[in-house]
Amino acid sequence: MDYQADYDRLAERLTQAGVDVEQVKDKLKRQHIETPSWGYGNSGTRFKVFSWPGAARNVHEKLDDAAYMHKLTGVAPTVALHIPWDKTDDWDALKQYAADQGVGIGAINPNVFQDDQYKLGSITHPSPSVREEAVAHMVECCEIMGKTGSKLLSLWFADGTNYAGQDSIRGRKQRMEEALAETYKHLPDGGRMLIEYKFFEPAFYHTDLADWGMAFATALKLGPQAEVLVDTGHHAQGTNIAHIVAFLLDEGRLGGFHFNARKYADDDLIVGTNNPFELFEIFTELVSAGDKAKDVAYMIDQSHNIEPKLEAMLVSILNCQTAYAKALIVDYNELADRQMMGDVLGAHRILVDAYETDVRPLLAQVRAEMGRDADPLATYRADDYASRVAKERGVADASGSGYPG
């Protein structure tokens, strides 16, 4: 794609519309999308995991793949880890290995949903000993944060019940608050606890942290280092996620995102595929919030089951870049004027005009200025990295199910 002439025309049009193109480019260069270690390995659904040639088999190979994504895009400098899947005996060595590849360690994600003892819950389990084990694991993850330089503890729980009367809902709420309060004490300096929610699955009668309001109320009780994590797939059909984002931003409690896409439920599809306008809406709320959004963490959380692992991750990053670029070129001053005038469709049209703008030439220019190839997807497809690691790693065993959160 010969983007230069297209970029020049787009830049001129945006400038005439009052957009500071250089400022937009600067913000795009500073975008930070964190990729998940588990997205590079074999993962799938609770029904089946299909092995992919070259899928990462250990944490070092996951870091290698993440570094390759950052090399292609320039905006994916950190990698989220899942414990114990990514556990190592030498965290200093792993931190150095990541740095040598050009990336850093991001959010630390405890696993309190996969072991047999968590069948009836983890931090809400009726048994004190099971709850103590879950808390001990989360405290261990706080210690790992200190060793790796991570500032984020990302929490998701499968806790809930399947039948009315199975357990006390209020009792489970109190157990959860007690466990999180104990974990909160162990956050490292500058660390934040991000509390994720999910309205159903794997629990089908009630889930202990079922929506953003429950996560928000829990964070308020814990303290200023506790915030809400919004997974874009964890909502009932028709939920206005942009509304949730705006509310949490205004309250100063939006900690971050797990980006993915869904059609029916928690489908863990590539972000921005089924619902690109919804993703754009979310980014417009983030951009318009200004400094209130400066500490929000942008993380991908997807299960690539039938897609090529690396290409799926790359497309995810590029879709986030596209949505952000479109949100940055919205004329927010004109939008505010239209809103104050009560110009319903005029205000709506401001957003639609930005959304329908082809920002590919802008993104190509930004990448060129960052020393990256203008079209990362074309570069990936022309490169031998995927075929090389497939030959080196082979096809790893993929028995069992993949990451369900």
**Is residue 350 in a domain?**
no
Residue 45: pLDDT band (50, 70, 90) is low
Average confidence (pLDDT) over 14-33: 97
Domain range for 197 is: 30-330
Number of folded domains that form the chain = 1
Between these two residues, 98 and 1, which has the higher pLDDT value?
Answer: 98
pLDDT at 49: 85
Please check whether residue 340 lies inside any domain of the structure: no
pLDDT tens, residue by residue, 198-213: 999 999 999 999 999 9
One DSSP character per residue, 359-394 reads -HHHHHHHHHHTTS-S-HHHHHHHSSHHHHHHHHH-
Question: pLDDT value at position 399?
Answer: 47
Q: Does residue 197 lie in a domain region?
A: yes
Position 91 in a domain: yes
Q: Is residue 128 part of a domain?
A: yes
Between vectors from CA 193 to CA 189 and to CA 197, what angle results, nearest 5°?
175
Comparing C-alpha atoms, which of 57, 111, 125 is closest to residue 83? 111
> What is the band of 9 on the pLDDT scale with cuts at 50, 70, 90?
very high
Query: Cα–Cα distance between 325 and 319 in angstroms, integer?
Result: 10
CA 75 to CA 89: how far, in whole Å?
29
Contacts 24+ apart (CB under 8 A), 88-95: 88/59, 91/144, 91/147, 91/148, 92/147, 94/59, 94/60, 94/63, 94/148, 95/147, 95/148, 95/149
Whether 383 is covered by a domain: the verdict is: no
Whole-prediction pTM: 0.96
pLDDT band, very low/low/confident/very high, at 318 (cuts 50, 70, 90): very high
- pLDDT at position 402 over 80: no
Q: How confident is the model at residue 305 (pLDDT cuts 50, 70, 90)?
A: confident
Count other Cβ atoms within 10 Å, centred on residue 284. 25
**Residue 376 maps to a domain:** no
Percent over 70 (pLDDT), the chain: 97
Radius of gyration of the chain (CA): 21
133-172 residue pLDDT tens = 999 999 999 999 999 999 999 999 999 999 999 999 999 9
Specify the pLDDT at position 286.
98
Confidence of residue 404 (pLDDT cuts 50, 70, 90): very low
The answer to whether residue 261 is domain-embedded is yes
In angstroms, the CA 230 to CA 255 distance is 8
The identity of residue 236, as a single letter, is A
φ, ψ of residue 316 to 5 degrees: the values are -60, -45
- In the prediction, which pLDDT does 46 show? 64
User: 344-355 and 332-341 helices cross at what angle (nearest 10)?
Assistant: 160
Q: Does pLDDT of 239 surpass 80? A: yes
What is the chain's mean pLDDT, rounded? 95
CA end-to-end span of the chain: 38
**Is pLDDT above 50 for 401?**
no
Identity at 209, one-letter amino acid code: L
pLDDT at site 396: 77
Rounded to the nearest 5°, which phi and psi values hold at 401? -100, 170
Distance CA 34, CA 315 (A): 13
Mean per-residue pLDDT for 235-253? Answer: 97
Give the DSSP per-residue string, 124-186: T-S-HHHHHHHHHHHHHHHHHHHHHT--EEEE----EESSTTSS-HHHHHHHHHHHHHHHHTT
Average pLDDT for residues 376-388, to the nearest whole number? 97
Residue 43, pLDDT above cutoff 80: no
Provide the CATH number for the domain around residue 234.
3.20.20.150
- Residue 196's nearest CA partner among 248, 134, 119, 148 is 248
